[in-house]
Chain A
Amino acid sequence: MPVAFLRTNIITLSLLCAAIFGTANACADSDTFFVRVAEPYIELHTGAGRGYPVFYIAERGEQVEVLKKRTDWIKVRVRKDTPREKEGWVSLEQMAKTLTADGEQLALAYPDFDAYKKRRWEGGLMMGSFSGADVVSVYGAYHFTPNISTELEASQYFGSFSNGEIATISLVHQPFPEWRISPFFTLGAGMVFIDPKSTLVQSKNRSDEVFDVGVGVRYYLTRRFLVRAQYRNYAILTDQSTNQNAEEWKIGFSAFF
């Protein structure tokens, strides 16, 4: 009985292993295509990174099947359906020199300053000060044109007297998208949810509408990265007799794709 039990366990385990290690690319077959090596050779690494060793060299003229992409690496399969079938990762630089079926160089979107100027999506995280309170933000942006974009931003602030969340949608204008250090202007609207500290007397949660104007600067670092700093002035439309103003400074780290 224990032996049978052990055997079943081993079978289950090996099946599980096969499921995990073996058929990794079963679902990746749908959208593959072939390119031909045009340079003397390309190098296949065991993983998507220059730190992983080269284990195979595909020579000029060899057919290479493109499977998938991760960051700046492309997974390929060579010598398909032969005993020497191999799968490995090739850098974007080397893949960009291979030829497609119609003899043209494989067009790959390489993340550089030109790609940055044509970017559609951008997202990142920022931190700073909102009326003296620490604030953490995440944002996502969609660029309609190089000049005009829209942004969704969610923030949480942690103050001495209250904590809260801010959610805004903004229209952003960037007058000089071709500059590496490029200013932008924002106009936004949203909501602020204020949660006064429980130790204070008048502690009642409230939510108010906010409008904001802002100015900021983006700095393209390298590859897919940019640094971003911004200032915003919020008008909080309270249900009291006067509206409140709040100033916010933030700096953050973003990526585009």
Chain B
Amino acid sequence: MENRIQRFLLTAVLLGTAATAFAADNAVSPTRANQVIEPDLQRRETKVPKIDAQDFEVGAYYGMLSIQDFGSNPVMGATLAYHVTEDIFLEAEYGRSKGDKTSFEKLSGGANLLSDSDREYTYYSVDVGWNVLPGEVFFGKRAFNSSFYLIGGVGGTEFAGDSAFTVNVGAGFRLLLNDWLAWRIDARDYLFNRNIFGEKDHANNLELRTGFSVYF
């Protein structure tokens, strides 16, 4: 009896699996029937290599910075720019200089308003530049690409033991010696409020500088 039940169940299971297998086969067969010829071709995967993008420009500069009341002093710094389009670039810059003595300190003889470390002048800014006049300039028979740009931005200035929010505006000229090397001249004005002499006043520091930059 037990044996008969076992045989019945086994047959049922076997039939069941066969049926599902058949059904599955049926489900597949229409697509197989449609595809009369098996395509025997390998798609050629040609991958276009990535084009080397050179949108960044790194540079170093040297020049003169007129620190209001503290004389004109050498300044040096570095810039990093990202060229977003042919017209617009974003640039970060960092520069260092050192304030000289004020005329009062020079005339009075001994009195020092600031310690030596407080005379260290550092600034940074993040700027937006606009290549407003692109063109060519000629030197002898050679033509060089150039652009005259307007630039401005915001940043900070650290001087006399204090730091101040600084706005800068200026203009510059970039001469491309080749595809990756440029010579630049910049004129900038750095404007900020300060409180060195006991009352708030407005500092207007002009800078004239030149430098080289490399595209990468």
Contact = CB atoms under 8 A, between A and B. Distances in A.
A73 B51 contact: no
Nearest to A53: B136
B126 interface: yes
Contact of A224 (B53, B85, B195): B85
A31 B48 contact: no
Q: Which one of B50, B83, B128, B154 has the greatest number of beta carbons of chain A within 10 Å?
A: B154
B54 A68 contact: yes
A225 interface: yes
A28 B195 CA distance: 52
Contact of B165 (A24, A70, A100, A158): A158
B84 A51 contact: no
Given A69-B52, A125-B128, 12 more contacts: A32-B49, A52-B134, A68-B179, A71-B55, A73-B86, A74-B51, A100-B46, A102-B44, A106-B48, A158-B156, A197-B162, A257-B55
A100 B83 contact: no
A120 B133 CA distance: 32
Interface of B: 44, 46, 48-55, 82-88, 90, 92, 126, 128, 131, 133-136, 143, 145, 147, 153-156, 161-165, 176-181, 195, 215
B203 to A, nearest CB: 13
Nearest to B89: A71
Contacts of A71: 55, 83-86
B215 to A, nearest CB: 7
Contacts of A228: none
Nearest to B176: A47
A25 B179 CA distance: 8
Contacts, number: 118
Given A52-B145, A70-B83, A102-B44, A20 B181 contact: yes
B85 A102 contact: no
A62 B154 CA distance: 48
A167 B179 CA distance: 37
A51 B134 contact: yes
A107 B90 CA distance: 27
13 contacts: A33-B48, A47-B136, A49-B87, A51-B135, A51-B147, A52-B134, A66-B51, A71-B55, A125-B154, A127-B154, A156-B163, A158-B164, A197-B162
Contact of A69 (B54, B87, B88, B164): B54
B44 A49 contact: no
A148 interface: no
A255 B53 contact: no
A149 interface: no
Contacts of B133: 51
B179 A52 contact: no
Interface string A12-44: 000000001100110010011100000000000
B136 A52 contact: yes
Interface in A89-129: 100-102, 106-107, 123-125, 127
Given A20-B177, A70-B83, A134 B161 contact: no
Contacts of A74: 51
A138 B126 contact: yes
A255 B56 CA distance: 13
